[in-house]
Structure 1
Amino acid sequence: MTASGTLLAVCVVRELHADAGSIGVTAIDKGPVDGPVRVGPYGAYADVQADRKHHGGFDKALYAYGQEDADFWGAQLGRDLAPGFFGENLRVAGFDVNASRVGDVWRIGETVEVEVTVPRTPCQTFARWVGGPDQRGWVKRFSAERRLGPYLRVVRGGRIQAGDPVVVVRTDPDAPGLLDGYVDPE
């Protein structure tokens, strides 16, 4: 059986914010875009990454997060977590994105294909973004739940939009799982 789901939102940066980290600015504030969004080798058109050492590039062109995982965190934090809250480009529903295997290929819409590369490694910028009383220990808490979501490489570009199907079109049962060998950050 092939895993499949639905693309709920395509998110790009809404605005850059000052940040206490070494870069001094963050692009984690992402929100949904209406209509089709072009996707190319570096990700979604009009999206940016402030810290290109740790985000973006070909192997981290897009970040996907599952609605089921967002719902879990919403219950934990006592608030709704809209698409983009986690800094994700793609909010998907209908299959467990964390059960992906490295190298899995997903087709989104009619033409876009992406390949699972690595899990997200949460950082202090993410902890500051969550903010409030939940900031302290957030990186370890988020990591311990193993609801990290995958980074994706763009194999074939095109246009995608909310409502598009997401289908796992290729998987290797012998490939490592996304979270196999994952070590929580210290």
Structure 2
Amino acid sequence: MRLLSVNVGLEEPIEGAKSSGKTGIFKRPTHGPVRVTKDGLAGDEISDKENHGGVDQAVYLFGSPDYEWWSEELGRELAPGTFGENLTVSGLESAGAYIGDRFSIGSAVLEVTAPRIPCVTLAVRMGDPAFLKRFRRAERPGLYCRVIRPGEVAAGDPVESGAYSGERVPAIELFRVFFEPDPDEVTLRRHLAAPIAVRAREMNERRLARVLERDAETRSIV
């Protein structure tokens, strides 16, 4: 795999999305090396910090196979950064990645923490009110990563991957379970055993607590 593009964006006005009226989803390719810190890429701005960014979702990756699929699906060429990703990577299929897998890019090392869950800003960005449903059905979410080792990255850098040795949770499984109304205890515990992003962890902990409470109530009735 190889890094095709490094993309950053500044806050820009956007209509029909967040109440702030601003977004950082409009990423554009940069030239030359870019510093990667635990908080993300230098020069990249995030508007909705409640749902995006943070050390567990510091860098967003999207792969060329997914771009090719979407270009055919939408009937037009899509430029790097269209999906709001920081790094566009050749040969990376997000559906084949696992939570905890690592990518060495330039002098930086990243660790997969979560799939991207689509929000209304993405639908506005793509100019399609139905895009959230299309994105969900496509199951090509891209990957959020935490920064294990800060460094510099630049277009053309080789990308080396390493498999996580702990609980193997496919990123696409986390994506699917997000939309399930009632995931089971075993699945939730598996996900919590993996190094998932803090937002996903907090949500799964709440869901697990509800499952355990419901099961306890059922046993008390019996």
Match of 1:41 in 2: 38
Aligned-residue identity in percent:
40
Unaligned runs of 5+ in 2: 182-222
Q: Which has the higher contact order (CA 8 A, sep 6+)?
A: 1
Match of 2:218 in 1: none
| Cα deviation digits, residues 151-184 of structure 1 (max 9, x gap) | 0100101110001011112423741010114234
Q: Whole-Å Cα distance in 2 between the matches of residues 97 and 13 of structure 1?
A: 22
Q: Whole-Å Cα distance in 2 between the matches of residues 185 and 84 of structure 1?
A: 29
Match of 1:114 in 2: 110
Match of 1:85 in 2: 82
8 A contact 2:10–2:45 mirrored in 1 = no
Q: Secondary structure at the match of 1:8?
A: strand
Q: Whole-Å Cα distance in 2 between the matches of residues 52 and 147 of structure 1?
A: 23
Q: Shift of the alpha carbon at 1:99?
A: 1.0
How many pairs does the alignment contain? 178
Q: 2:63 aligns with which of 51, 62, 66?
A: 66
Q: Secondary structure at the match of 2:80?
A: coil
8 A contact 1:43–1:61 mirrored in 2 = yes
8 A contact 1:30–1:89 mirrored in 2 = yes
Q: 1:163 aligns with which of 133, 156, 181?
A: 156
Match of 1:153 in 2: 146
Q: Secondary structure at the match of 1:47?
A: coil
| Cα deviation digits, residues 15-53 of structure 1 (max 9, x gap) | 512333222211111010001000001111000110000
Q: Shift of the alpha carbon at 1:149?
A: 0.5
Q: Secondary structure at the match of 2:49?
A: coil
8 A contact 2:64–2:92 mirrored in 1 = no
Q: Does residue 1:140 correspond to 2:133, yes or no?
A: yes
Q: Does residue 1:176 correspond to 2:173, yes or no?
A: no
TM-score (norm 1): 0.90
Q: Whole-Å Cα distance in 1 between the matches of residues 95 and 3 of structure 2?
A: 16
**Once structures 1 and 2 are overlaid, which stretch shifts more, 53-62 or 163-172?**
163-172
8 A contact 1:61–1:152 mirrored in 2 = yes
Q: 2:124 aligns with which of 120, 125, 128?
A: 128
Match of 2:49 in 1: 52
> Aligned partner of 1:127: which letter?
A
Q: CA RMSD in A?
A: 1.7
**Structure with the larger helix share:** 2
After superposition, the Cα gap between the structure-2 partners of 1:18 and 1:95, relative to the gap in structure 1 and judged at 3 Å, is: closer
**Structure with the larger strand share:** 1
Query: Where has structure 1 moved over 4 Å in runs of 4 or more?
Result: none
8 A contact 2:10–2:43 mirrored in 1 = no
Q: Does residue 1:7 correspond to 2:3, yes or no?
A: yes
> Aligned partner of 1:45: which letter?
A
After superposition, the Cα gap between the structure-2 partners of 1:179 and 1:58, relative to the gap in structure 1 and judged at 3 Å, is: same
After superposition, the Cα gap between the structure-2 partners of 1:72 and 1:128, relative to the gap in structure 1 and judged at 3 Å, is: same
8 A contact 2:46–2:52 mirrored in 1 = yes
Q: Secondary structure at the match of 1:39?
A: strand
